[in-house]
Amino acid sequence: MAQDDPRTLVSTQWLAAHLKDPDLRVVDASWHMPAEARDAKAEYDAEHIPGARFFDIDEIADLRSALPHMVPPVEKFMSRMRAMGIGDGHQIVVYGASGAFSAARVWWLFRLMGHHDVAVLDGGFAKWKAEGRRIEDLPPVVRDRHMTVRRQNQMVKDVTQVAAASKLGDYEIIDARSGPRFRGDVEEPRAGLRAGHIPGSRNVPFNELLNDDATMKTPDALKAVFEAAGVDLSKPAITTCGSGVTACVLALAMERFGKSDYAIYDGSWTEWGAFPTLPIATGEA
């Protein structure tokens, strides 16, 4: 079991012990790939951890962008959090249906907005349920709470910045997609995207950072996965994936072993793969 850290990762045992703390807020950030045809909100309505609020990754986003679930404007994030009763002074625990898959994205969003007392629930809702812990189908009692936002611009990169990093090699670009997708051996799940990866990037599939029960590996084991993939950890990192979700699992893993100079490429392959003028590479890194 991973060591509990209220700023990165906490166990189901830790959450059960703190569930009634007055300043604890639990967030259900479940999200599924479109091909899975699952309704995360309907599943939340049917059962969730007591007191949990539902965080809609696709709605609490910049809907002006054609790209999916891009970082929301600061004002929108603040208003949605206030409506959810989440604000200054709260310890936040984010969980997803299983493991860190989508929960890490919301963990990173809170950190991007300057809120650091936020952790992912190790193993997610699946582990919580498997242990027979309490669940409910009741909506939470919400009281408005102001949230101060100090956006950390260095934690997110756009396509121009990533293209420069690819050319200059001054960042390690790390791709969280599966090996076959990274190499360009299979078609992308989103129609119209080219296959391959950003030139100069390394491949650390996010599921290699997890144990069989979807809990996260120890910090030393996490670091070893990055090193085995040829990542130069002395350089600042940019993480990427299909649409900016599992890239955040890599960010959480790096934070766990003490590396904090990372940023997320928010558009990820959904953006890069759609631009015919951007270079792509195939095969191994």
Give me the active site residues, please: 241
Residues 6+ apart with CB under 8 A from 137: 45, 46, 47, 48
Structural element, H or E, at residue 27: strand 24-28
Residue type (1 letter), 177: R
Cβ–Cβ < 8 Å for 239, 262: yes
Cβ–Cβ < 8 Å for 194, 280: yes
Rounded to whole angstroms, how far apart are CA atoms 262 and 171? 9
DSSP string for 199-256? TT-EE--GGGGB-TTSPBPPHHHHHHHHHHTT--TTS-EEEE-SSSSTHHHHHHHHHH
The helix-helix angle for 247-256 and 103-112 (nearest 10°) equals 70
